Every structure is written in structure tokens, then in C-alpha cells.
Amino acid sequence: MTDLSKIRNFSIIAHIDHGKSTLADRLLEECDAIDRREMENQILDSMELERERGITIKARAVQLTYHADDGETYALNLIDTPGHVDFNYEVSRSLAACEGAVLVVDASQGVEAQTLANTFLATDAGLEVLPVINKIDLPSARPEEVKAEIEDIICIPAEDAPEISAKNGINIHSVLEMVVRDVPAPKGDRDAPLQALIFDSQYDSYRGVIVYVRIKEGTVRPGMDIQMMATGAVYKVVEVGTMNPLGLTPRDALGAGEVGYITASIKNVADTRVGDTVTTVENPASEALPGYRQVQPMVYSGVYPADGAKYQDLREALEKLKLNDASMSYELESSIALGFGFRCGFLGLLHMEIIQERLEREYNLDLITTAPNVVYRVTKNTGEVLMVDNPLDYPDPMDIQLAEEPFVKASLIAPQEYVGNIMDLATARRGEFKDMVYLDAKRVELHYEIPLNEIIYDFFDALKSRTRGYGSLDYELIGYRPSRLVKLDILLNGDIVDALSFILFADNAYPRARKICEKLKENIPRAQFEIPVQAAIGGKIIARETIKALRKDVLAKCYGGDITRKKKLLEKQKEGKKRMRTFGTVAVPSEAFMAVLKLDED
């Protein structure tokens, strides 16, 4: 075990594109943790999708061995954090595993929305925040002004902040020295009852679940019986160790202050929830570490294979993904329109998109996803209370005594010139204005209470476009409030397509219904007959479009020389039809579903 005084646990926080992952890579290099040859850029973001999107989806941790200028050798544990509002809880748990945070600020951009939001998260967690000025070698760099900004706006001393270029490896050494000097060494009693904070876990097909922990108190060794305090699950420890950039290094024990992993032949990541506390069966801690929350999916949607025959493949893919992602849920669902599929729960829309993309890419599936849906609370006349995450389960309006929808408290931060835009947006989304705080001369934080339903679709994108990318959003669930809700049904050629039904606020029904009908008209190819596209509430039609019958689709000439070519053309048409789903009499391509999901983009 490393002496407490020789351990530093820290994470790196930054506004997007300010250079967080690049700095992490340089730190690894500087400590010779990995060879330049072995270096794949941004080794911490190891998921293909993460690298492509430039965001961190899962938390990662790595231990660096650093020979400091004071002649001592330190174990530096760098814990990377996810970077999206969908994963705020995970971020808070990762930060809780650290004593300090390196705040990366772009030397020309200065302090931005996420700089602020992330700094608050870190200071809330009691972390020492150490600013670093990055991209110092850009011609537009203005380090002195940016330092002043940091001191003015965030109120942390920045005078001595290292001026670096992560991209070109300038001054990286000074960052490591700062970490050793200014991040407090962890505290803890290695003889106390075990309290280990789970900040991530990952399924490995050979070892079972690998649990990433920060030992707060006590010591954990192989052979010990451990218990997860929230789930109550008990296991025998097989191995403990630390993470180095290229793999896991077993150790005899992990003691208070250390960051490492535990394996214990755990079959199910759901038993190792982020934020839970690991203790020993023999000498249990009297209480769990604070801050644990059971993560609940906020958004549900139906996920179906585009080709109905691929249902089993989808099931297997979901099972595998679930092994690594306890925050996702899924259960069997069947739709008259789409056949067998799954109702899946996600933390937010980004999470949903990520899961979808992984299913399509890593498991080579074509999917049809139904409109995302929050969980409504419906009290029936009989007094029965239903939690409705699926429009198909929405009761008849006659039977409903009270319908409620989840609300969130949203905090929106942006430069003050965008306040008008933000207010327009929030009001359009039924936001109730609470207050507005000037964070400094230029930046404003607004608080709104908004239905979650209004946030999940495209709110974040709309906010970004109305604030030229400077706006940031954070939200937390504050409970249910009564609302006027309706279920909107879509009919094609007179038949309800259940997979297109959804629940929404009554006043939004008309414009939305019109838009959906228009979109479907654009995306459903003409058939041999006329297709009415209708939107209805209860039995009442509130919008209608008509897809005219196909008039002409014929090969005028087809003689000897044309047969091969024209056959290919018809084959292609046939293959196109194969990818469509037939509802009653109408064939609908999966693009039509996508179009309905992306209603607000124009």
C-alpha cells in the first residue's frame, strides 16, 4: 500500500474542447506510463464512440507513477469524468473520489459555461480546484486576461496557474508538480471498518464485474467477504489492484486513500451501483458514504429491430450492453405495428442515442425507435395509481382522475446577451421562471421549473443554437405536478399505428399533430392507393394529410437488352420494401419514424 502522503487523487474538468482529454494523454506520457508508440490518442476515451464524439461517456481511472522534483515518488490517480448533463450523477461520484480537480481553461476562449458548472460541481464536492491555462501557444492566447477572469468569476486564485500547451507538450511538468504540491493528500484510517466508494464498474467476460473504487476508510484484501451497502449483495474478493494505462495491476491490498479495482466473481453490474459503498461482512461500517442515489431512467422509448426476424439478436445485444450499463433498463414490449421489441429506459436523450448507436454499430442491427417518453403518473377514478412509461398503457381519459407529469428544476447559464433568447425558449417549453442571478458582469444563471417532457427532446440543442454554443444546462427532478395530458394517436389509412402514439401536453397537441402528419406524408412513399394520414385524440381527428396514390411507376420499354438492368431496378425496389414495416395496408420506411422523432429540427 502506498503511504497516504504519497497519494494524490484528482480529476480534470473543463469546458468542451478546452483540451481535457489531450492534457490527460500528456500527463500519461510525462509519467512514462505509456510509450508514445503505444499511444492511441486519448487513451482514456477508449470507446470508439467516445473518440468520435469527443466526449467521455464512462468514467475511467488510471494510476500514474510520478518522480517529483522533491525526490519523492507519488502515486497519482487520475479519474476521468463523463461530460454531459445526462451523466451528472456519475460525475458527482467520480469527483467524490478525488481531493482535487485540475481546471483546464482555454487561453483564448476564457471561462465558459461548463467551466463554471464543472467548477461548482467540484467545489460542492469539497475539491481543491487548480486552474491551468491551456493552448498558450495560440496567437490569440491572452493568459493574463483569462487568469483575471478566473479570479473574478470563479473566485479561485489563478496567478500561479501553469501556462501550458497540452497539444504540443509545453509545460506539462508544471501541472504534475502543481498536483503534488496543491492537491491535498487523502486522509483515512486503514484499520477502520472498510468504506469504499464505487465510482464505476465494468463487465469483463473472464473476471466478472470489475468494480472501480476509492477506499475512504479501512483496507480491502483478496479473500475478504464484502457487502454492497445499498444492494446488500455479498461477495468474496478475488483480486484487488490498481489501473495502469495498459491494464490492471494486482496488489496485495488497497487501503484508505487509494484508488483501485476489486473483482469478486460478480455476475451483474446492477449489484455494483455507482455511488454505493463497499464494506466488509466481518467488520461492517456503521453507515454508508453520503450521496448515493439509485439512478432511475428518465426517458423511455420502444426499440425494435427494423427486420422483425432480428428480435433475438436485439435481445442478446441488449443483454450484453446491460452488463456494462446498469443505468439502462429494458423489458419486453410488443406492438401491433412493430411486433416484438423492448421498452428501454435511459438517463436522457444522449444516453438513448449512445445506446442506439452502439446497438447499430457494435451489434450490426437496424433499429426502429419510437418517440421518447417520460414517466407519467396517472390516478384513476378507482384510486389506482399508474406510472405510465408507455403510451400504449395510457388509460382511457374517462377513467382518469388526475394526470401528472414530472418536473425538473433547470439551471441555465449563458452570457447575458442571450438571456432574451433563453427566456423565449424556456417559456415556449412551458418553463416557469424562478429567478436569475448574475454570476459576474457578463454571465447569468437562470432557474426555471420545466416539465421534463419539454427538456428531453431537443432542449439542449435548441439552447446551444440560441446561445451560439455558450449556454449550459443542468437539471434535477423535483417531482410530479398535475397537468393536462392527452394521448395522440396516428392513423394510417384508418388504422392506428400504435408505435407512433404518444402522450403530450394538451395545448401542444394541435401543432404537433399537424407537423407529424406533414412529416409522415413526406416520408411515406406513395402506394398503389391513396393513404390518409390522421392524428387523433380519443376518437377525434385533429389533423390530416393525404398521400396521393401512385400514378406512374412503370418501365415503358423492356426488350432483350433491358432485362438485366431493369431486373436490378425492380430488385432494388423490392429490397427497399423489405426494409419497410407494413401497418395494416401501409408500408412505412424506418426513416419515417426517424423523421417523427426529429420533429423540431426545422
Partner 1 sequence: MALLQRKHKIPLGIYVHVPFCRSKCQYCDFYSLTGKKDCDFEGYLEAVCDHIREAGGQAPNHIVDTVYFGGGTPSFLGGEALAMILTVIRKSFDVSPTAEITFEANPDSVNDRLLRRLRSEGFNRVSLGIQCDNDEILKRLGRPHDYQQAVKAVERIRKKGFRNLSVDLMYGLPGQRLADWEQTLQNVLQLKPEHISCYGLKVEEGTPLYECQEFYNLADDDTQADMYLSAVQILRKHGYRQYEISNFCRKGQVSRHNLKYWNGGEYLGFGPDASSDFGGRRFAIVRDLPAYIEGIRTGGTVLRELQEVAPRERAGEYLMMRLRTVSGIDPAAYEKQHLLPFAPLEKALWKCKELGHAEKTYDGRWHLTPAGFLVSNSIISDLLLIQEQTKPFSNR
**546 near partner 1 (CB under 8 A):** no
The minimum distance between CB 584 and partner 1, in angstroms, equals: 12
Cβ proximity to partner 1: between 553 and 601 the closer is 553
Binding residue (CB under 8 A) for partner 1 from 145, 578, 598, 600:
578
Which residue in 554, 586, 597, 599 binds partner 1 (CB under 8 A)? 554
Q: Which H or E run contains 211?
A: strand 208-217
Does position 528 interact with partner 1 (CB under 8 A)? The reply is: yes
Number of residues that bind partner 1 (CB under 8 A): 27
Sign of the C-alpha dihedral computed for residues 592, 391, 327 and 342 taken in this order: negative
The residues, ordered by sequence, that sit 6+ positions from 334 with a Cβ below 8 Å of its Cβ are 340, 341
* Residue 568 within binding range of partner 1, rule CB under 8 A: no
Q: If binding is defined by CB under 8 A, does position 570 make contact with partner 1?
A: yes
Part of the chain binding partner 1 (CB under 8 A), chosen from 99-107, 141-149, 401-409, 562-570: 562-570
- Shortest CB 314 distance to partner 1, Å: 21
Stretch that binds partner 1, among 33-41, 203-211, 410-418, 557-565 (CB under 8 A): 557-565
Rounded CA-CA distance 353/351 in Å is 5
Residue 579 near partner 1 by CB under 8 A:
no
Classified as helix, coil or strand, 372 is coil
Nearer to partner 1, 481 or 579 (CB): 579
**How far apart are CB 571 and partner 1 at their closest, in Å?**
7
* In the complex, minimum distance from the CB of residue 566 to partner 1, in angstroms, rounded to a whole number: 7
Residue 569 CB, shortest distance to partner 1, in Å, is 8
Residue 264 CA, distance from chain mean position: 27
Total residue length of the chain: 602
Region near partner 1 per CB under 8 A, out of 11-19, 50-58, 352-360, 576-584: 576-584
The beta strand positions in 46-135, using DSSP E, are 60-67, 73-80, 100-106, 128-134
Q: Is 573 in the site for partner 1 (CB under 8 A)?
A: yes
Residue 574 touches partner 1, criterion: CB under 8 A: yes
Q: Angle at Cα 116 formed by Cα 115 and Cα 121, nearest 5°?
A: 100
C-alpha to C-alpha distance for 75 and 331, rounded to whole angstroms: 44
CB of 548 to partner 1, least distance (A): 9
Measured at the CA of 421, the angle between CA 418 and CA 426, to 5 degrees, comes to 120
Name residue 532's amino acid.
Answer: P
User: Is 37 or 574 the residue whose CB approaches partner 1 more closely?
Assistant: 574
The residue behind cell 420545466 is 450
Q: Is 566 in the site for partner 1 (CB under 8 A)?
A: yes
269 within 8 A of 209, measured Cβ to Cβ: yes
Q: Which is nearer to partner 1, 22 or 590 (CB)?
A: 590
Report whether 307 contacts 368 (CB < 8 A): no
Contact stretch for partner 1 (CB under 8 A) within 179-187, 312-320, 372-380, 553-561: 553-561
Question: Should residue 555 be labelled a site residue for partner 1 when binding is judged by CB under 8 A?
Answer: yes
506 lies in the site for partner 1, by CB under 8 A:
no
Residue type, 488: L
Least Å distance between CB 567 and partner 1? 6
User: How distant, in Å, are the alpha carbons of 6, 138, 189 from that of 102?
Assistant: 18, 21, 26
Among 187, 267, 468, 567, which residue interacts with partner 1 (rule: CB under 8 A)? Answer: 567
- Residues sharing a CB contact under 8 Å with residue 164, sequence separation 6 or more, in sequence order: 23, 132, 133, 134, 136, 170, 171, 172, 174, 175
383 or 560, CB closer to partner 1?
Answer: 560
CB atoms within 10 A of CB 562: 12
Closest distance to partner 1 from the beta carbon of 578 (Å): 6
Q: Does 521 bind partner 1 (CB under 8 A)?
A: no
Look at the block and give the residue holding cell 480534470.
Answer: 12
Q: Which of 161, 136, 134 is nearest to 148 (CA)?
A: 161
Q: How many angstroms separate the CA atoms of 371 and 357, rounded?
A: 16
Nearer to partner 1, 12 or 592 (CB): 592
Q: Is 36 in the site for partner 1 (CB under 8 A)?
A: no
As measured in angstroms, the least distance from the Cβ of 557 to partner 1 is 6
From candidates 553, 590, 595, 598, binder to partner 1 by CB under 8 A: 553
Taking CB atoms within 8 Å and a gap of at least 24, the contacts of 577-584 are 578/307, 579/306, 579/307, 579/366, 581/306, 581/308, 581/337, 581/338, 581/368, 583/337, 583/492, 583/495, 583/497, 584/492, 584/493, 584/494, 584/495, 584/497
Binding residue for partner 1, selected from 283, 529, 598, 600, defined by CB under 8 A: 529
From the list 216, 189, 14, 195, the residue with the least C-alpha distance to 98 is 216
Among 246, 336, 506, 569, binds partner 1 (CB under 8 A): 569
Exactly one of 37, 139, 556, 602 binds partner 1 (CB under 8 A); that residue is 556
Footprint of partner 1 (CB under 8 A): 527-529, 550-561, 563-564, 566-567, 569-571, 573-574, 576-578
